[in-house]
Amino acid sequence: MTERADASPPLVWLTTLAARFRRVAPGHWLGLMLLALHAAVVFDADATMTRAFLLAHYGLFLLWQPLVRSEARIEPRLALPVFAMAALLVLVDSTWVMALWLAILAGLVGAVATSQNERGPRLAYLLALAYLLALLLAWVLPQSLGGTALPDELRIAVRYGLPLLPLAILFLPATRQRSTSSTLDFIYGLMLSLLIMVMALGAFAVVAVARVSYAWALVQTLLGMAVLLLALSWLWNPRAGFAGLGQVTSRYLLSVGLPFEGWAQRLATLAERERDPESFVRDALSDLHELTWIRGGRWQAARGEGQFGEPAAHSVSHAFHGLSLTWQSTRPLTPALALHVRLLSQLLGYFYAAKVREQTLREQAYSQAIHDTGARLTHDVKNILQSLKTLLAAADTSTPEDSERLLALMKRQLPQLAARLSQTVDKLKQPSEMDAAHIAARSWWAALHTRYEHDDVQFFADGVDDTPLPQDLFDSVVDNLLTNALRKRQREPGIAVEARLTLHPLVSLTVTDSGAPAPEHVARNLFLSPVASDFGLGVGLYQAARQAARSGFRLELADNQAGRVAFRLQATDSSPDP
């Protein structure tokens, strides 16, 4: 307990110091880093003091650097370049090493400056960039040329005036939010560093070849770079009728290593030909033989998985719309190729999702077809069963004197019931052919008379002839309507039920009863969705309306008032000819 109590104050002190370091804004570290660099480079101190300031400068650089977050744990392979750069900067006394370091530092500062949105931090980084360029051009480069003496005014301005820029950075308002590597514009930083190196080497080349003064060599170098940048900017986006370097570069980056348009066209063709989602993905991935930078990979979906190509050391994974893809390559992918892999994965994911939705719709349509057929056949069987119950009731209530009349009734009804039951069974085998079958209106009307001659149904017809009628539709609709009307008669004794057939100008079948009207909420949804029913599933009229619509007819509640409830099946103007 005593040892732990003695060890507590140092730990508390270190924790407090670390917390204070975390509260320091990055801009303040930047200002202190530049001041330490100025003291090490500009002031003529001995080697020990210079190395101390350089070491302090590099330590402050590590506290400011935007490449790695301060909370991240540095691996040994990343720590080695850090210590190597520190050793090179501190131990090697060379102006060219310092010029290289200033160019790299200027590139980093410029990259961070482009990611700043607030005015204060952006001004701080611009001041830092100006300081680094001034130190490089006015102090380090002239000394690296050798034999070039700096004017006393320039020495005094650099030694005592240039530190005002880092001091101004310390007093500017700075945000405490640290920049991360994801916010850096690495291309901008790299281009800035390369331009600074080209400018330094260009000034050195002009001085060495032309034997002119450093100032005139620097002016010539800057003018040459300005002309070169102006020409590049014009070639990047010209207006002389050709695409320019910008579009050529973009086209190259978007098509590097892959004829993207050709592969997308083959993918669309495969999507039209292949219906199964997993087979589509398998065939699409097997068609990537032109990707020389992709050795193989694997894919995984909800209903299957597979592999393509050969395994490799490096891999990258993407998941889009339920499709997980892992691409394997011999070498790590460049940013442009990584973008291509992401685009390929996203495109495959979109096509896979479309195939899954298409398959789901097919399954739903198949299930709906089964449901519709089953519902129709259920009502047909129920109507046949109702007719059989009517015959049995007639047989139970008959007397010996009615035996001949009952026998005649059985001879007429049983063949018709057997034929209707046979048709119902045939619908299971060939529903489309049964829907397309037609019968003469005269024959159908006579058979309807026979089926319901003992149910006290009144039949009216206006000029029945041999006009063809869709047999399955009319049988199903009239059985549903008459069965419902007869069931209503059981609840409301004494109501009249009638059926009327009209063939001209449009085919029309109307079933009317004199009972109570249907409730408003039932009448509103009668043909749009299943309704509650005390005798079945409540889908008879709903299925009959859908069947009528498929055959070019319309089933509607023509009248719904007390004493007159009329349902009408009528052909539409666009009804197809038989």
pLDDT at 439 over 60: yes
Name the packing angle between helices 403-429 and 335-397 (round to 10°): 170
Do residues 444 and 474 touch, judged by C-beta distance below 8 A? Answer: yes
pLDDT category at 401 given cuts 50, 70, 90 is confident
**Long-range contacts of range 195-199, CB-CB < 8 Å, 24 or more positions apart?**
195/225, 196/102, 196/103, 196/106, 196/107, 196/133, 196/136, 197/100, 197/103, 198/225, 199/225
Q: What 8-state DSSP symbol labels residue 300?
A: E
Please tell me the distance from the alpha carbon of residue 141 to that of residue 95, in angstroms, as a whole number.
8
Place of tokens 């119950």: 389
- DSSP SS3 for 208: helix
Place of tokens 């049995």: 392
Cβ-Cβ contacts under 8 Å for 160 (sequence gap 6 or more):
none
Cβ-Cβ contacts under 8 Å for 218 (sequence gap 6 or more):
137, 141, 203
Please tell me the distance from the alpha carbon of residue 465 to that of residue 505, in angstroms, as a whole number.
13
Place of tokens 């024959």: 443
Residue bearing the bigger pLDDT, 312 or 405: 312
Phi-psi map region of 309: left, alpha, beta (phi>0 left; psi -120 to 50 alpha): left
Q: What 8-state DSSP symbol labels residue 456?
A: T
pLDDT category at 164 given cuts 50, 70, 90 is very high
**Long-range contacts of range 67-76, CB-CB < 8 Å, 24 or more positions apart?**
67/108, 67/181, 67/184, 68/181, 69/178, 69/180, 69/181, 70/22, 70/178
Exposure of 75 by Cβ count < 10 A (0-12 exposed, 13-18 middle, 19+ buried)?
A: exposed
Range from 130-144, 341-355, 387-401 carrying the lowest mean pLDDT: 387-401
Which of 441, 435, 434 is CA-nearest to residue 506?
A: 441
Residues 32-48 have a mean pLDDT of: 86
Phi-psi map region of 4: left, alpha, beta (phi>0 left; psi -120 to 50 alpha): alpha
Which of 341, 356, 345, 363 is CA-nearest to residue 274?
A: 356
Percent of the chain with pLDDT over 90: 8
Place of tokens 């066209």: 265
Segment 54-78, tens digit of pLDDT: 999 888 888 888 777 655 666 677 6
Query: Is the full-model pTM beyond 0.85?
Result: no
Place of tokens 């063709």: 269
Do residues 103 and 191 touch, judged by C-beta distance below 8 A? Answer: no
Do residues 497 and 555 touch, judged by C-beta distance below 8 A? Answer: no
Q: Checking DSSP bridges between strand 468-470 and strand 508-513, what pairing results, if any?
A: unpaired
Other C-beta atoms closer than 10 Å to the C-beta of 501 total: 23
Angle at 139 between CA 136 and CA 141, to 5 degrees: 60
Range from 75-79, 369-373, 446-450, 551-555 carrying the lowest mean pLDDT: 369-373
Which of the residue ranges 39-53, 531-545, 563-577 has the most confident prediction, judged by mean pLDDT? 39-53
Average per-residue pLDDT in the chain?
78
Please tell me the distance from the alpha carbon of residue 229 to that of residue 244, in angstroms, as a whole number.
15
- DSSP SS3 for 469: strand
Q: What 8-state DSSP symbol labels residue 288?
A: -
- DSSP result, 50-95: HHHHHHHHHHHHHHH-SSS-TTSPPPHHHHHHHHHHHHHHHH---H
What is the model's pLDDT at position 270? 82
Please tell me the distance from the alpha carbon of residue 364 to that of residue 357, in angstroms, as a whole number.
10
Exposure of 539 by Cβ count < 10 A (0-12 exposed, 13-18 middle, 19+ buried)?
A: buried
Please tell me the distance from the alpha carbon of residue 322 to that of residue 479, in angstroms, as a whole number.
49
pLDDT category at 101 given cuts 50, 70, 90 is very high
Structural domains in the chain plus CATH codes? 10-236 (no CATH), 254-366 (no CATH), 437-578 (3.30.565.10)
Range from 227-236, 297-306, 350-359, 525-534 carrying the lowest mean pLDDT: 525-534
- DSSP result, 142-183: HHHHSS-PPPHHHHHIIIIITTHHHHHHHHS----PPP-GGG
**Long-range contacts of range 265-272, CB-CB < 8 Å, 24 or more positions apart?**
267/347, 267/348, 267/351, 271/351, 271/354, 271/355
**468: β partners:** 440
Question: Is the bond preceding residue 505 a cis peptide, omega within 30 degrees?
Answer: yes
Name the packing angle between helices 403-429 and 441-451 (round to 10°): 130
CA separation, residue 546 to residues 71, 541, 542 (Å): 67, 9, 6
pLDDT category at 530 given cuts 50, 70, 90 is low
Range from 48-62, 163-177, 229-243, 513-527 carrying the lowest mean pLDDT: 229-243
Residues 445-469 have a mean pLDDT of: 83
Do residues 125 and 30 touch, judged by C-beta distance below 8 A? Answer: yes
- DSSP SS3 for 363: helix
